[in-house]
Structure 1
């Protein structure tokens, strides 16, 4: 009897192992395309210990070859979309990225996309893509604070983490996300907070939506600002011109007045003091801009909080809209995209409360 039981145990173990092996064989590796734009993650310097470097010098194939473990997470391929420092990021490249990502998903060429990007404008690009990518498939932005040639470079680890996040089924339907420094951030909320520290990216109002550790990503919450309707940029080659003006004590109204004369200007984001406030001379200049057809959006120079409508400022009378909790640079992104569809300030304001 003992021999029979022993034989049955062996058979069950072998059968279980065979079933698990079959499951592993049937598991399809996700297809992930890396779209490279340059930035510090692709930067190269003359010294491993000095801060000076040139951004965007390392091509995407070299980035992938430096992190061979990424191929454990899927079928990885790379494309060079741009090769610039993110201080040179522009609307043309944003549109190129959005169109390429939408085409990749439409043609079923990949299950996820990772975008390597410089950190200076990474938050703006992430939010732009969040508003223009039509698919629920994962799109993950990643960068580095130190160039690839630095002794303590962070790019390889960040890239590996980003690929791992992109490959995770739980990343589906979360909108565009940013993976940096073992954290996952929602594109709408993330911003760069330090000029040099590795742990520069923060979501000052809400914190990261997930954490990356030991080869795994754990999600804790998801933003509700993930509207099903996105902005269609498939036929656009440019966006309406929107500028930002910074508020400060005893600011000169001429700054607003001069910006308002820029040919083709459609919108103006005011990075105000406190709750998007301004001194009286600047307020009059902003009101004049609004009367002349420029959409004025009140944001804040503070790093957290939201701008309240009709609180200290009579926004309806002045024709202003408020940015809610978007920082000035992201308010500019949403205002530009909103202006591709409408100049109606009520509708634009609704976008700021929904997107």
Structure 2
């Protein structure tokens, strides 16, 4: 990797967090500057040239379009910089799946972009941040990491942004992938891919939006009525994601209201509140105009629907094709 470096875009999160005690449960995310973090990492003796840039230093619950725009612009510049081998984004775990998936859909695939975080702050017993980061460096530095879209590294697992989600509130094994599990296994010294690249030399699937359309997620619950739908529409929703029961289901009155929304020009995606599983197209979807989320959970389904609406894609068949592809 002579003459090339990896760009590290830091946004804060637990990987940059501190508790002030090795055993405290509570902590403050986004306390360590990227320069200090990279200095500590450099002491481990990993021979990779890294360039750090502080984009933000916050809890990832506060990350949204403004920071997404900065990250996207920096990644686009890195893609055309011959001195840049790849990009690592340090990120809090709470919204990592949204950021990873958004970048995955709006960037080309010729260079690796890797999100990495931690579940324990830097000063905790058994902190996982430096090891996760070392694994991410291994991935970002590998020629074989290109052509796979954006990747997320947690623990010794490498997940595709299309599959990755936070599935546990605690523990260092908090992330899972569905329908694929890990696409590679990484350590600071090894990287083993479990499949060939699935998106070689692919251009960005969507342009980065000038503005993100309002797309709420409606969480289904027993006794739910159509009021949630009508309030979303009256509030200016330009799309709706249903986090439904089972395979994307909802009470009849809610489905009727969602069908009315589709007829009024507001696209609706059926996802599930269940931890994992496919939401397939049902016979009624064609008549109702609903889009099946397939393997995407509600958070990633919302991002994809926002990109579709922002790109002027609201016709059901074309939108469904975007949810179907890998």
- Relative to the length of structure 1, the TM-score reads 0.86
Q: Which residue of 2 aligns with 1:346?
A: 317
Flag as ranges the 4+ runs of structure 1 deviating above 4 A.
Answer: 222-227
* Structure 2 segments unaligned to the other structure (5+ residues): none
CA 1:351–1:56 in structure 2 vs 1: closer, same or farther (change >3 Å)?
same
* Structure 1 segments unaligned to the other structure (5+ residues): 1-26
Q: Which residue of 2 aligns with 1:91?
A: 65
Q: Confirm whether residue 180 of structure 1 aligns to residue 154 of structure 2.
A: yes
| Aligned mate of 1:248, from 206, 218, 221 | 221
Give 1:70 shift.
6.5
CA 1:340–1:298 in structure 2 vs 1: closer, same or farther (change >3 Å)?
same
Q: Deviations over 1:222-249 (max 9, x none)?
A: 5747893424545x43222211001122
Q: Which secondary structure state, in structure 1, belongs to the residue aligned with residue 70 of structure 2?
A: helix
Q: Which residue of 1 aligns with 2:2?
A: 28
Give 1:196 shift.
1.0
Q: Determine if contact 1:140/1:176 at 8 Å carries over to the other structure.
A: yes
Q: Which residue of 2 aligns with 1:166?
A: 140
Give 1:71 shift.
6.2
Q: Confirm whether residue 131 of structure 1 aligns to residue 142 of structure 2.
A: no
- Counterpart Cα distance in 1 of 2:234 and 2:204: 31
Q: Determine if contact 1:246/1:271 at 8 Å carries over to the other structure.
A: yes
CA 1:214–1:101 in structure 2 vs 1: closer, same or farther (change >3 Å)?
closer
**Where do residues 189-208 of structure 1 align in structure 2 (5 Å cutoff)?**
189-208=163-182
Q: Determine if contact 2:107/2:203 at 8 Å carries over to the other structure.
A: no
Q: In angstroms, what is the RMSD of aligned CA positions?
A: 1.9
Count of residues in correspondence between the two structures: 325
Q: Confirm whether residue 114 of structure 1 aligns to residue 88 of structure 2.
A: yes
CA 1:317–1:232 in structure 2 vs 1: closer, same or farther (change >3 Å)?
closer
Q: Which has the larger radius of gyration?
A: 1
Q: Confirm whether residue 67 of structure 1 aligns to residue 55 of structure 2.
A: no
Greater share of helix:
1
Q: Determine if contact 1:211/1:218 at 8 Å carries over to the other structure.
A: yes
- Counterpart Cα distance in 1 of 2:44 and 2:113: 16
- Counterpart Cα distance in 2 of 1:64 and 1:349: 43
- Counterpart Cα distance in 1 of 2:178 and 2:205: 26
